[in-house]
Amino acid sequence: MRLADRMEHVKDKEMLKVMELSETEGVISFAGGFPSPEAYPVEDIRESFLWVLDRDPRGALSYSATGGYGPLRDLLAKRMKRNFALDFTREQVIITNGSQQALDMTGLMLINPGDVILFEAPSYLGALNAFKAYEAEMVAVPTDDDGIQIGPLKAALEKYGERVKLIYVIPDYQNPTGRCWSVERRRAFMETVAAWDLAVLEDAAYSELAFSHQLEPPLLSFDRKGQVIYCGTFSKIFCPGLRIAWVCAAGELIEQYLLLKNNVDLSSSAIIHRQMVHYLEHYDLDGHIRRISALYQQRCRLMVECAGEFFPEEVRFNEPKGGLFVWAALPEGGDSRQLLERAVREKVAFVPGASFYPDGAPGNEFRLNFTNVPEEQIREGMARLGRVMKE
Ligand code: PMP
């Protein structure tokens, strides 16, 4: 079959392979990026669906408006106001099928072949792959514990100039490192980019999963030029299977998303939007978030304790303050892909760090998920991993 040239850039099977490995029978998997399924409020969701089917079956089974069900857009605008004191109208909120769709649509909207996208390295593979499909040149900017590094960011902006169309960042409890940008770094970042004609895609997938329940100010709140496209999702704070996410941005950009959304899938699911509205109005999403954050904090602590107990001393790891992941590193020169091969024989899995850099070069880092594994398995899995490392 004669495929489009862009398919040359859609080859990355790394993540599929890792997921396959980790789903093998008996494997304790720290590989996924999922919230904990046993925490889903299944009964409340069931009741919400039944309520919608009883009260508004025809609306629920029809097409939705392109930007999503109006009352859900209103509730999301209200949530942005309550969480971050940011004012958005219903029209400035577009609902997408998961934030993955919003990432892909952003590439579709902004990127010509050869345009440069800057991103914090390491970063979320699903976004990097989506952008690569639009034949972007992906340029890594290094990060430290406070976020993207401003010196190298300025150097990259000087070097690539107007070719830089987009900067993709995950400031809160980032995937894969679990790091959260400091407020000073957020401010410095926004001051730096304000001098350039480019868009910033702020992926806020983990922003509400702060163990302290204290939300960080989004980049959007420092934006004076309408550069930031904010992308939120219910996947990590609620259930990924519902595929509800949203984009907030300045009016001019939002219009483009609306046009694209119509091309891509006409609209997201009417019934799911309606059940979400019912859930938000009659149940307690904030209580749910508080409960899962407490659970995740407990699992995170346990994982970090086990890393201290079972890993060789030279292996480094961080202790995140939110999100789903611990980021770890073998000593310099170590290869975490090789470690994974051996680990899978011992029935434990994780994601090698190379998966979070677009060139996929072998490296010593790796990502461990703590949310989707019950406590007793965290202990057993970390003990197995420690044994493999010591071998
Ligand atoms: N952004 C980040 C940083 C993610 O980690 C993920 C999922 N792992 C997504 C976006 C996509 O999430 P969803 O499409 O379910 O909203």
Residue 20's pLDDT is: 74
Ligand 1 centroid–CA 205 distance in Å is 6
What is the distance between the alpha carbons of residues 274 and 130, in angstroms, rounded to a whole number? 29
Average pLDDT value over all residues in the chain: 94
Q: Give the distance (Å) from ligand 1 centre to CA of residue 20.
A: 19
Distance CA 71, CA 273 (A): 9
Ligand 1, atom nearest to 243 Cα: 15
Model confidence band, residue 358 (pLDDT cutoffs 50, 70, 90)? confident
Tens of pLDDT, residue by residue over 274-319, are 999 999 999 999 999 999 999 999 999 999 999 999 999 999 999 9
DSSP characters over 122-165:
S--HHHHHHHHTTTPEEEEEEEETTEE-HHHHHHHHHHHGGGEE
Q: What pLDDT score was predicted for residue 251? A: 78
Backbone angles phi, psi at 230, to 5 degrees: -100, 135
Query: How does pLDDT run across 196-239, given as a tens digit for each residue?
Result: 999 999 999 999 999 999 999 999 999 999 999 999 999 999 99
Please give the structure tokens belonging to residue 99: 């934030």
Q: Is pLDDT at 17 greater than 80 in this prediction?
A: no
The torsion angle over the Cα atoms of residues 375, 381, 382 and 386, rounded to 10 degrees, is 160
What pLDDT is stored for residue 1 in this prediction?
86
Does position 16 have pLDDT exceeding 90, yes or no?
A: no
Ligand 1 centroid distance, CA of 324 (Å): 12
Q: What is the pLDDT of residue 38?
A: 92
Bridge partners of residue 232, in order along the sequence = 246
Reply yes or no on whether the pLDDT at 66 is more than 90: yes
Atom of ligand 1 nearest to the CA of 174: 3
pLDDT digits (tens, 9 = 90+) for 146-165: 999 999 999 999 999 999 99
Instruction: Report the alpha-carbon distance of residue 185 to residue 143 in Å, rounded.
Output: 11
- Residue closest via CA to ligand 1's atom 5 equals 175
- Evaluate whether 140 touches 168 at the Cβ level (below 8 Å): no
Tell whether the model's pLDDT for residue 362 goes beyond 80: no
pLDDT at 68 over 80: yes
Mean pLDDT of 334-353: 93
Q: 371 pLDDT exceeds 90?
A: yes
State pTM to two decimals. Answer: 0.96
Determine the pLDDT at residue 18.
Answer: 66
State residue 253's pLDDT score: 92
Peptide bond before residue 176 is cis, with ω within 30 degrees of 0: yes
Q: Supply the residue whose CA is at minimum distance from atom 8 of ligand 1.
A: 33
Rounding to the nearest 10 degrees, give the CA dihedral for residues 206, 109, 118, 83.
Answer: -30
For a substitution probing ligand 1, which of 168, 233, 369, 371 has the most ligand atoms within 8 Å of its CB?
Answer: 233
The response to whether residue 124 sits with its C-beta less than 6 Å from ligand 1 reads yes
CA distances from 43 to 38, 166, 263, 265, 369 (A): 12, 41, 35, 29, 26
Task: Provide the token pair at 97.
Answer: 């099928």
- What span, in angstroms and rounded, lies between the C-alpha atoms of 39 and 99? 21
**pLDDT, tens digit, 9 for 90 and up, residues 77-116:** 999 999 999 999 999 999 999 999 999 999 999 999 999 9
Percentage above 70 pLDDT, the chain: 97
pLDDT the model gives residue 8: 83
Three-class DSSP category at 334: coil
Ligand 1: nearest atom to the Cα of 97: 14
Taking the centre of ligand 1 as the mean of its atom positions, its distance from the CA of residue 100, in whole angstroms, is 6
pLDDT, one tens digit per residue, over 40-63 is 999 999 999 999 999 999 999 999
Structure tokens at 383: 């003990």
- Asked if 117 and 138 touch (Cβ cutoff 8 Å), the reply is yes
Q: Residue 204: what pLDDT?
A: 98
Residue 29 has pLDDT above 70, yes or no: yes
What is the rounded CA–CA span in Å between residue 333 and residue 143? 20
pLDDT for residue 22:
63
Residue 32, CA distances (Å) to 13, 49, 69, 272 in order: 15, 28, 31, 24
Write out the two tokens for 119.
Answer: 């991103």
Where residue 266 falls (left for φ over 0; alpha for ψ -120 to 50; beta otherwise) is left
Which pLDDT score, from 0 to 100, does residue 89 have? Answer: 95
Pocket perturbation via mutation, ligand 1, pick of 18, 201, 235 by most ligand atoms within 8 A of CB: 235
* pLDDT for the residue 176: 96
pLDDT computed for residue 7 by the predictor? 86
Name residues whose C-beta falls within 8 Å of residue 270's C-beta, 6 or more positions apart in sequence: 59, 60, 61, 62, 63, 64, 69
pLDDT exceeds 80 at position 11? no
Mean pLDDT of 5-9: 84
The confidence score (pLDDT) of residue 338 equals 93
